[in-house]
Structure 1
Amino acid sequence: MRDFAVAPPPTSALTTLTGGLADSVFETAALNPTLPLIARRPDPSSTVWEEVTAVELRDEVVDVAKGLIASGISPGSRVAIMARTRYEWTVLSHALWAVGAEVVPVHPTSSREQVEWILRDANCVAVVVEDEQGIMTVGTVCAALPLLRHVWQLDSGALPQLVERGTYIPQTTVDSLRRIVMPDSTAVVAYTSGTSGRPMGCALSHRSLASPCDTLLSGWPNTAAPAGEQPAVLAFLPFSHVYGLMIQGLCTRGGWLMAHEPEMTEAALVSGLRSFRPTYLYAVPSVFEKIYKNMLRTAQQLGRGALFERAAATAREFAAAEERLRLGRGSGPGLDLRLQHAVYERTVYRKLRAGLGGRVVGGTSGGSPLNRELSLFYAGIGIMVHDGYGLTETAGGITMQPVGREKIGTVGQALPGTEIRVAEDGEILVHGPSLFQGYINDERATRATMHAGWLATGDIGRLDTEGYLTITGRKKDIIITSSGKSVAPAALENRLRMHPLIHQAVVVGDDRPCVGALLTLDPEFVAHWQAGLAMQSDARGREAREENALREEITRAVAAANSPVGRAESIRVFRVLPQPFDVAGGLLTPSMKLRRDAIVRKYAFEIDAMYQARARAPRLPTADEQVTGWEDADNVFR
């Protein structure tokens, strides 16, 4: 092994799990029955949130659990939930855990083939869908699922129907079943994102799912809200992914107030943030990137773009100076910088925080590494975003930034009780209490992933002398050009996405003469950028000039992304695609990760054309020339 890190000792005693995940709802209801645990809106368009207390949530969980028992759901039964992040998800999951059943999360936009595979592979006896579309998808595969006995639809009153069905079941039956659930019983069969190949079902125990939540709640107190206040979290990431489940676990086990936002659209998130006013943000990097770009666009539309950029630069500089101070590498912000920061705090930063509801004190980014410059920006405006790391196979987070010792640009240190190693080839290995029980129905894959209790994550990275982990990419994503140069695409992609016009980026180049990139643009920022050009000419001439200007701007963005790397690792050709990658099209996972293999297959023609155009060039550009590759046939406005 090349590097090794043992977690720092916990700052307080960890919670000891003695039963299942449903117990937290029952225990909170017994200790603090009037504590609000859930905030609900009477309808999706409402900006008013109604609170559900701990005892009200427990009673509904019990009533639904009785209906599940009446329907034949018993300990060990697997029930799929194929719905967006909504209140019923929380009630159903805890009701299923209360009777000892196992939850199988399925993303609601999954294809017919994916749904059939998951329901059959997991031997599901029931599935809960959200709407008619879900009914139609499941209906087309029912014939291939002989074990499937129930299909319940939330929008058609599934929960009230279950409650009515279970009225004759005594509560003592639910209590008896809940008490026989052990910490090592399987709670969830979570299918991997399937970025390549068929997704595999990870068996996660109640202990596995509770462990990172309880560790964070114990060792990171008062980070999700000011001391003495109840933390409030707007849950919008899919519960069909382990990160979403971890957020739910933190809220229910920590006694936090949780609101559900099923829509991942910009308008829905803006409305939810401003009306619910969370104290803490859990998101993926693309959400933090989008929030930043929206701040910039709004400032430019108000004629304050230059002010915003100066304030953002000061925020990053201030946060970097504070980082040097807390890590013992400098004296912190100087007087001039503190004065500038104080001015921008009054005139800019507090207004930016107000756009997020006005109460956000911090956040956590997961799913992939967050750009360091973006992390510095948020820290500088008063929102310390902790970058963490975890996998489906680890039931969520296994690293976190230590409070007061945050090292921005890393994903922090191993959680207490967890150990991390980096192998000779750079692969990250993990050992700890949150590891999964194995892949169901696939012992070979389990043996290939687990080695003497250590999980081979498939991620590559490095540990520094203080145990901070830096993720550099996925082992299988490494690009090897025809000249034999190995390139990790993630860092290039992260830098590309920092440009306001670029929405998504996929770096390619396997067996090619150089590194290339497929780009998609942010349509709202493109429209805003076009409006700022103010070109005076006929329609045809204006369109040509706009496209030329846009071509030059994207070329500069690619050149900027290339600046930290050598020529052999830099992007030499690129193509702008007319449509973004999305989950529905099968090009993104539910956790918003790129399905690289699917993208390369779908855009094989465009990739070939991109490299053929380069090959036709009379000569290679010199190191001082700008990158090329925007074809005349490309039309970024269509």
Structure 2
Amino acid sequence: MNSVSITENGSDLADHTGLYSVISAAAAGNPERNSLSTADGTVLTCAELDTAVRAVASALLARGVAAGDRVAVLGRTTLEWALLDCAILAVGAVLVPVYPTSSPVQIKHILSDSGSAHFAAEDATDAERLTAAGAAAAWTFPEIATWTTTAVAPELDARIAAVRADDLAMIVYTSGTTGVAKGCMITHRNMYVSSANTVRQTGAMFDGTTVHALPLAHVFGQTILFACLVGGSQTYLLPGIPDLVPALPRLRPTFLAMIPYGLEKIRKFCRTLITEEAEQDAVARGLDLLGAGAAPESTDNPVGAALGGRLRHVISGGASLDDSTAGFYAGFGVVILNCYGLTEAATAVTVNAPETNRLATTGRPIPGTSVGIGADGEVLVRGPHVSPGYWGAAADQRPVDDEGWLHTGDLGELDDDGFLRITGRKKEILVTSTGKNVAPAPLEDRVRLHPLVSNCMVIGDGRAYVTALVTLDEPQAQRWRAANPQGDPAAAIQAAVDEANSLVSRPESIREFRIVDGDFTVENGLLTSSRKLRRAAIESAYSGDIDQLYLSRG
């Protein structure tokens, strides 16, 4: 087995230490430094953050939250959730995050499977969704905001001190592309190792300003939150990625953590600020710089201004990112640092560092981590951030083998310098009837970059050739039709398909595509909460369209 180990333990927790104890100690060391902030101007220093968390934690104790109790939280990313998050961990309770986009069936499953005893929601509407799924009365974020004046409970320090590194901190339900979500157990040690070593891997980057718009319902959002707290960042909290673009010029971050979907959306917005030729020049320039290992220089340009004028680095994780998007940002002075991880490893496995960033890879393992490649190409992970297992109905499933390796389900390669490149998913590699293996993600990523395209899914498993379903970005499509009343969007999208096909061999290329009605969304069950394609559900929903793709060639 090809493997690489970063044997230095790096940042880890002493056995008797809980995650919030470390955050509190860091706050005491830099009391006047700005920490968590809201976009509308509320700024908490490290000392004020610690005071607010202790007040909220005391309010939890007054409401009967015991050590080990599960607390389900449904809502978008806000200061109130971040305070509650820290307070839950401080008192030794267990956070159970719930996506705001979850269906009633999904919410009911999470509440029931986790055995949650306490509940919080962003607003009254979300509270009703929790109670409809079987919850008792839920606290709302506005109510939690009033808890920051609660007198500190006499027993709070003892409760904080009683939390151990290997105590359960969170149960994060993995969205999964098929089947019922599994509750992944994340300990205080898991989360601390992942977040603190992400900070170590990226050097001084976290000693800056960021805007956190990732969902705190996702483990990536949780890890970045705690990385910011450990690293001392000034962190503005926004409800979601749609709120990001208008806020960037005002908040002026020096770094961001994003998912490819967000980076693609920002790139599409930036196309309204520059010419197509300027975009192509930027991509070419950026790819040359990244390929040579050179650091792009900031320039005075409309894209840089739209990003706030100070943005230099973006950690990108959660899915694959098309190289041309990395080139686009580098062409305007912003370096994308691809990373790789999964819920079962508290997000972080490998992260590119600013000084050694390597295009088309997800970086080298974070300190204390071993990464191996199995005989079948599967990426294997071992380290103190690996989950102890699953909760509830999935408790009998073991993600780790007898040798301590976490089987990720992802396929990858390690180069001679220990950089990991993800090549696909074991279960998502398509095998055509001619025996050709096809990785759909690179094709889908490239087609999705077209301004008219909202989403794309490549098909071909067991078929004679590869095809694709394409959905339109409706606002863009309406503008295009107004400007091209006699035009056919399919002709415009064919250029994107041709470009995608240039990345692969002819047997792997998309022979036919079909623009389908509607879109693939979380709400209609065709995307997971982390915006991954639910391939089986899409194939079922669009079976007629798929049949037409293959009937067209006989």
TM-score (norm 2): 0.94
Residue type matched to 1:36 in 2? N
Distance 1:469 1:159 in 2: 43
The correspondence for 1:560, drawn from 482, 499, 515, is 499
| Rg larger for | 1
Quick one: structure 1 residues 532 and 315, their matched pair in 2 at CA, closer, same or farther if it must change by over 3 Å? farther
Residue 119 (structure 2) aligns with: 127
Distance 1:297 1:271 in 2: 14
Please give the secondary structure, in 1, of the residue aligned with 2:349: strand
Q: Residue 374 of structure 1: CA displacement?
A: 1.8
Q: Residue 187 of structure 1: CA displacement?
A: 0.4
2:280 paired with 1:309? yes
Distance 2:107 2:432 in 1: 36
Quick one: structure 1 residues 407 and 481, their matched pair in 2 at CA, closer, same or farther if it must change by over 3 Å? same
Residue 523 (structure 2) aligns with: 584
Residue type matched to 1:216 in 2? T
Please give the secondary structure, in 2, of the residue aligned with 1:282: strand
2:18 paired with 1:20? yes
Residue 30 (structure 1) aligns with: 28
Equivalent runs, 1:39-188 vs 2, <5 Å: 39-41=37-39, 48-142=40-134, 148-155=135-142, 157-160=143-146, 162=147, 167=151, 171-188=153-170
Please give the secondary structure, in 2, of the residue aligned with 1:476: coil
Residue 410 (structure 1) aligns with: 361
Distance 1:560 1:380 in 2: 20
Deviations 1:403-431 (A, max 9, x none): 42221001111112111111111111110
Q: Is the 8 A contact 2:56 2:144 kept in 1?
A: no
Equivalent runs, 1:434-473 vs 2, <5 Å: 434-442=385-393, 445-447=396-398, 449-473=400-424
Identical-residue share of aligned pairs (%): 35
Equivalent runs, 1:44-443 vs 2, <5 Å: 48-142=40-134, 148-155=135-142, 157-160=143-146, 162=147, 167=151, 171-224=153-206, 230-265=207-242, 268-299=243-274, 304-320=275-291, 322-323=292-293, 350-442=301-393
Residue type matched to 1:276 in 2? L
Residue 5 (structure 2) aligns with: 6
Deviations 1:267-286 (A, max 9, x none): x2122212211110111111
Q: Is the 8 A contact 2:7 2:370 kept in 1?
A: no
Please give the secondary structure, in 2, of the residue aligned with 1:81: strand
Residue 448 (structure 2) aligns with: 497
Distance 1:504 1:189 in 2: 30
Task: Point out where structure 2 has 5 or more consecutive residues left out of the alignment.
Answer: none
Residue type matched to 2:17 in 1? G
Distance 2:183 2:401 in 1: 15
Residue 620 (structure 1) aligns with: none
Q: Residue 188 of structure 1: CA displacement?
A: 0.5
Quick one: structure 1 residues 111 and 593, their matched pair in 2 at CA, closer, same or farther if it must change by over 3 Å? same
Distance 1:35 1:52 in 2: 9
Deviations 1:179-203 (A, max 9, x none): 0001111101001112111010111
TM-score (norm 1): 0.82
Deviations 1:518-567 (A, max 9, x none): 1122334434544555xxxxxxxx3xx212xx222212221221123223
Deviations 1:138-181 (A, max 9, x none): 22222xxxxx54421224x2442x568x65xx533111100000
Paired positions, count: 553
Distance 2:399 2:334 in 1: 40
Q: Is the 8 A contact 1:8 1:415 kept in 2?
A: no
Distance 1:197 1:293 in 2: 33
Please give the secondary structure, in 2, of the residue aligned with 1:461: strand
Residue 487 (structure 2) aligns with: 546
Distance 1:135 1:446 in 2: 32
Distance 1:249 1:241 in 2: 13
Q: Residue 287 of structure 1: CA displacement?
A: 1.4
Bigger mean CA deviation after superposition, 128-137 or 365-374: 128-137
Distance 2:103 2:204 in 1: 41
Q: Is the 8 A contact 1:240 1:590 kept in 2?
A: no
Compute the RMSD of aligned alpha carbons: 2.3
Residue type matched to 2:355 in 1? G
Q: Is the 8 A contact 2:65 2:93 kept in 1?
A: yes
Residue type matched to 2:189 in 1? R
2:538 paired with 1:599? yes
Q: Is the 8 A contact 2:471 2:519 kept in 1?
A: yes
Quick one: structure 1 residues 313 and 527, their matched pair in 2 at CA, closer, same or farther if it must change by over 3 Å? farther
Bigger mean CA deviation after superposition, 361-370 or 57-66: 57-66
Q: Is the 8 A contact 2:127 2:137 kept in 1?
A: no
Distance 1:386 1:313 in 2: 18
Please give the secondary structure, in 2, of the residue aligned with 1:397: coil
Q: Is the 8 A contact 2:245 2:266 kept in 1?
A: no
Distance 2:252 2:413 in 1: 37
Q: Is the 8 A contact 1:449 1:457 kept in 2?
A: no
Distance 1:4 1:61 in 2: 41
Please give the secondary structure, in 1, of the residue aligned with 2:441: helix
Please give the secondary structure, in 2, of the residue aligned with 1:172: coil
Please give the secondary structure, in 1, of the residue aligned with 2:256: strand
Q: Residue 579 of structure 1: CA displacement?
A: 2.4
Residue 609 (structure 1) aligns with: 548
Distance 1:319 1:264 in 2: 26
Distance 1:444 1:78 in 2: 16
Quick one: structure 1 residues 564 and 219, their matched pair in 2 at CA, closer, same or farther if it must change by over 3 Å? closer
Distance 1:258 1:482 in 2: 51
Distance 2:201 2:375 in 1: 31
Quick one: structure 1 residues 451 and 587, their matched pair in 2 at CA, closer, same or farther if it must change by over 3 Å? farther
Deviations 1:78-131 (A, max 9, x none): 001111111111110111111100000110121111111111111000111122
Q: Residue 575 of structure 1: CA displacement?
A: 1.3
Q: Is the 8 A contact 1:49 1:276 kept in 2?
A: no
Q: Residue 442 of structure 1: CA displacement?
A: 4.8
Distance 1:605 1:572 in 2: 18
Q: Residue 590 of structure 1: CA displacement?
A: 2.2
Q: Residue 372 of structure 1: CA displacement?
A: 1.7
Quick one: structure 1 residues 412 and 464, their matched pair in 2 at CA, closer, same or farther if it must change by over 3 Å? same
